[in-house]
Amino acid sequence: GAGVSQSPSNKVTEKGKDVELRCDPISGHTALYWYRQRLGQGLEFLIYFQGNSAPDKSGLPSDRFSAERTGESVSTLTIQRTQQEDSAVYLCASSWSGTNSGNTIYFGEGSWLTVV
């Protein structure tokens, strides 16, 4: 597609429920990133996929968080047993990663999650 697409754009869920957030990266981009942004705060790295390499999961805040990516396409971020502190915007981004680095990372519009 033309840009990074995320769905849903808004999600309100009850505490304790599971949620899935989806990201469609730009076609051909081998790198995919998930970030979390709490209200009025900066970007918190969650997870990074690069081609067929093992993902960098070092930013996942707890074992309630997991993410998958099918090949070099769609990624799903899953939050189990949601808590109120999970309320945030979840931003997905992708970039092309060839032999030259310094490639631009492109962001989606984000999925706004509210846990009530």
Partner 1 sequence: AQSVTQLGSHVSVSEGALVLLRCNYSSSVPPYLFWYVQYPNQGLQLLLKYTSAATLVKGINGFEAEFKKSETSFHLTKPSAHMSDAAEYFCAVSEADTGNQFYFGTGTSLTVIP
- Running DSSP on this structure, what letter comes out for residue 26? P
Judged by CB under 8 A, the residue of 26, 56, 80, 87 near partner 1 is: 56
Q: Are 75 and 68 in contact (CB under 8 A)?
A: yes
- Write down the least CB distance from residue 61 to partner 1, Å: 16
Site size toward partner 1 (CB under 8 A) is: 26
**Residues in the chain, total:** 116
Nearest in space to 5 (alpha carbons), one of 56, 70, 73: 73
State yes or no: residue 26 binds partner 1 (CB under 8 A): no
State yes or no: residue 11 binds partner 1 (CB under 8 A).
no
Distance CA 36, CA 72 (A): 21
Interface of this chain with partner 1, residues 83 to 112, rule: CB under 8 A: 91, 93, 95, 97, 101-110
Closer Cβ to partner 1, 37 or 76, answer by number: 37
Applying CB under 8 A, among 16, 45, 62, 114 the residue interacting with partner 1 is 45
DSSP summary character for residue 86? G
